[in-house]
Chain A
């Protein structure tokens, strides 16, 4: 028996708080343009260098560094769409990236899982991705499924198998393209076409999108950037994510890290627009700190990066990936994870990023505890409720009931009470903690809820013929990967 996938709940971006003034944004933009024009960005791809050269950029073939004038940046980015759709299996799961909504995503690409049965840590596999897609399908605040962990049982084609596990286990939009081999990218496009139904529909409502990281400092990945070109041609949206780490791959200050990350992202977006004007791209900078003693990757930095990066993206007039999230460095569930994820969730509505949240992982996006996604979802739900638009009129004041009960007495026998006592939306976890016979830990209740969804939620499957088409594409991709490896 198939289950119904609930409608997606999106945060409204009405409550946005701007941390950067327009003058500060202009200073940052100016810095980015200076970097692009004077220092340049390395593109180790003949294809990319040719495109830049054809459009008049200053290309040094020896160093593979491209310097881009401010005019060329402006001209190229003028074709980047401010708004586009990330398609779901049905239109009711479409995400409209227009600056008015913030949709929550799951976290992505971790490598370790706490096994549901043994509770021991192990390597992630495709079945974990599939399970998490089903769980995400049942959680209304999750709008965007990013495979939380890697399908490490599939080697080179892992990203394609992650995409497959997503497309076949949720009706929501799937982040499907972290492939690092351009030769494998066409298979993802084919998969997207099968799910969308046609070439035209894939362009209108692409069921998958991709994330390509830029290489801090000031470089691109040959495979990544050529993969992005394949997606851009096919109308599959790509977010370019800079991951500057303060102290190692970026200056040790927030502004230095932001401006160098921005230059990387902008250079990639410019290339896409020069090659395929109008290609849907979005902007992302994830700043971290190098732990000064261990060198470790620290994401919990006390600085409003989420809000700043959204403003920077919107200042370039493109949608943003980022703007608050529940992802944190804690290694296990406890006070630290609770406070870090709670604070992260609280920033989501005020940041106003189009895709944000990153639910479900700990240990710097590396470790999946099954129950974490339920806890994160709960926190986000509370934030969602806090920012919901409140609507009422005089009838809602219950004046007639108040008048009828009068001073003293009580409301226990009132029909109005029976009608409304269930209205008050307690979050599912708090509800069970307080209403149960005995107080239980939120972790235990979350795990129970996870298991319940896992046992019962079965989203509408794709039609048989589409499933077998996807299998055929995967088999062909696996074959191509074997060839590439040889």
Chain B
């Protein structure tokens, strides 16, 4: 029974069915299937397969995004049921957002999806987020990486402000900073003291792995 449900959870992620994923997750808990098994043997291989299908060109972005949503729907139910000491394996914890004054949503969302599909636990705090909101989310989620997206010349300055805010909050050493967005460059990232810059969502994954010292 537990194998069957774990298989169904995996398939719900591959098929991109958040409602099904939620139902199977609830059923699993009702039937006392270990939530950590559901995650590690069902959801994680499911999202990995979605990632592979995407890399092969069989899946497009909408399939990748809905697969990640299905995983999240099940995780929202399973994670609170983990007993203390149990923790799902993640490559790293990322807090992601678009900086204050900037409403460009899509690039940041895609970076989040790619990171999720590659084993990161991503908390997307949305667009138009000031440094205080980033700092609060980093603390709350014990983030390893903070990702800040900026698409405007006028808002890139906020990425620098974020780094200053991390310093003032005394957490600069505990979190890596990754930045990106149309006007941003590697050089700018170096200038403001960010730890990584990614040109697109795919390279964002490589950079995030590098920042975690994890093998790509």
Q: Which residues of A contact B (CB under 8 A)?
A: 111, 123, 150-152, 155-156, 158-159, 180-181, 215, 219, 221, 223, 245, 247-249, 290, 292-295, 366, 485
Cα of A159 to Cα of B154 in the assembled complex, Å: 9
Q: Which residues of B contact A (CB under 8 A)?
A: 57, 60-62, 101, 103, 105-107, 110, 152-154, 157, 182-183, 185, 200-202
Residues of A contacting B103 in the complex (Cβ-Cβ under 8 angstroms): 215, 219, 221
A-B contact pairs, 30 of them (CB 8 A): A111-B153, A111-B182, A111-B183, A123-B183, A123-B185, A150-B183, A152-B153, A155-B153, A155-B157, A156-B154, A156-B157, A159-B154, A180-B101, A180-B152, A181-B154, A219-B103, A223-B101, A245-B106, A247-B61, A249-B105, A249-B106, A290-B106, A292-B60, A292-B62, A293-B57, A294-B61, A295-B106, A295-B110, A366-B182, A485-B157
Given contacts A123-B185, A215-B103, A249-B106, contact A292 B61 (CB under 8 A): yes
Residues of A contacting B105 in the complex (Cβ-Cβ under 8 angstroms): 249
Cα of A290 to Cα of B106 in the assembled complex, Å: 9
Residues of A contacting B106 in the complex (Cβ-Cβ under 8 angstroms): 245, 248-249, 290, 295
Given A155-B157, A294-B61; 12 other pairs, CB 8 A cutoff: A111-B183, A123-B183, A150-B153, A158-B154, A180-B101, A180-B152, A247-B62, A249-B105, A290-B61, A292-B61, A294-B201, A485-B157
A219 to B, closest residue via Cβ: B103
Cα of A249 to Cα of B103 in the assembled complex, Å: 12
A159 to B, closest residue via Cβ: B154
For the complex of A and B, the 10 pairs showing the least CB-CB separation, nearest first, are A292-B60, A295-B110, A111-B183, A150-B153, A248-B106, A152-B153, A158-B153, A215-B103, A156-B154, A295-B61
Residues of A contacting B60 in the complex (Cβ-Cβ under 8 angstroms): 292-293
Residues of A contacting B200 in the complex (Cβ-Cβ under 8 angstroms): 294
Residues of B contacting A155 in the complex (Cβ-Cβ under 8 angstroms): 153-154, 157
B103 to A, closest residue via Cβ: A215
Cα of A219 to Cα of B103 in the assembled complex, Å: 10
CB distance from B33 to the nearest CB of A (A): 35
Residues of B contacting A295 in the complex (Cβ-Cβ under 8 angstroms): 61, 106-107, 110, 201
Are B157 and A152 in contact, with the CB atoms below 8 A? no
A481 to B, closest residue via Cβ: B154
Cα of A219 to Cα of B126 in the assembled complex, Å: 15
Cα of A221 to Cα of B106 in the assembled complex, Å: 16
CB distance from A293 to the nearest CB of B (A): 6
Residues of B contacting A215 in the complex (Cβ-Cβ under 8 angstroms): 103
CB distance from B120 to the nearest CB of A (A): 17
Residues of B contacting A156 in the complex (Cβ-Cβ under 8 angstroms): 154, 157
CB distance from A256 to the nearest CB of B (A): 15
Residues of B contacting A485 in the complex (Cβ-Cβ under 8 angstroms): 157
The CB with the most chain B CB atoms within 10 A, among A181, A245, A294, is that of A294
Residues of B contacting A249 in the complex (Cβ-Cβ under 8 angstroms): 105-106
Cα of A180 to Cα of B104 in the assembled complex, Å: 13
CB distance from A329 to the nearest CB of B (A): 14
A111 to B, closest residue via Cβ: B183
Are B183 and A152 in contact, with the CB atoms below 8 A? yes
A220 to B, closest residue via Cβ: B103
Cα of A71 to Cα of B151 in the assembled complex, Å: 38
Cα of A187 to Cα of B33 in the assembled complex, Å: 65
Cα of A221 to Cα of B154 in the assembled complex, Å: 15
Residues of A contacting B152 in the complex (Cβ-Cβ under 8 angstroms): 180
Are A180 and B61 in contact, with the CB atoms below 8 A? no
Residues of B contacting A150 in the complex (Cβ-Cβ under 8 angstroms): 153, 183
B182 to A, closest residue via Cβ: A111
CB distance from B59 to the nearest CB of A (A): 9
A247 to B, closest residue via Cβ: B62
Residues of A contacting B107 in the complex (Cβ-Cβ under 8 angstroms): 295
CB distance from A481 to the nearest CB of B (A): 9
Cα of A221 to Cα of B182 in the assembled complex, Å: 19
Cα of A293 to Cα of B202 in the assembled complex, Å: 11
Cα of A75 to Cα of B134 in the assembled complex, Å: 44
Cα of A366 to Cα of B152 in the assembled complex, Å: 12
Are B110 and A180 in contact, with the CB atoms below 8 A? no
Cα of A54 to Cα of B62 in the assembled complex, Å: 41
Cα of A247 to Cα of B201 in the assembled complex, Å: 17
Residues of B contacting A180 in the complex (Cβ-Cβ under 8 angstroms): 101, 152, 154
Residues of A contacting B201 in the complex (Cβ-Cβ under 8 angstroms): 294-295
Cα of A77 to Cα of B107 in the assembled complex, Å: 35
Cα of A456 to Cα of B106 in the assembled complex, Å: 44
A291 to B, closest residue via Cβ: B61
Cα of A158 to Cα of B153 in the assembled complex, Å: 8
Cα of A485 to Cα of B154 in the assembled complex, Å: 10
A154 to B, closest residue via Cβ: B153
Cα of A41 to Cα of B214 in the assembled complex, Å: 44
Cα of A180 to Cα of B157 in the assembled complex, Å: 14
Cα of A187 to Cα of B23 in the assembled complex, Å: 57
Residues of B contacting A111 in the complex (Cβ-Cβ under 8 angstroms): 153, 182-183
Cα of A247 to Cα of B110 in the assembled complex, Å: 13
The CB with the most chain B CB atoms within 10 A, among A150, A159, A295, is that of A295
Cα of A158 to Cα of B105 in the assembled complex, Å: 22
Cα of A111 to Cα of B183 in the assembled complex, Å: 6
Cα of A121 to Cα of B128 in the assembled complex, Å: 29
CB distance from B202 to the nearest CB of A (A): 8
Residues of B contacting A158 in the complex (Cβ-Cβ under 8 angstroms): 153-154
Cα of A155 to Cα of B157 in the assembled complex, Å: 7
Cα of A144 to Cα of B118 in the assembled complex, Å: 47
Cα of A180 to Cα of B99 in the assembled complex, Å: 14
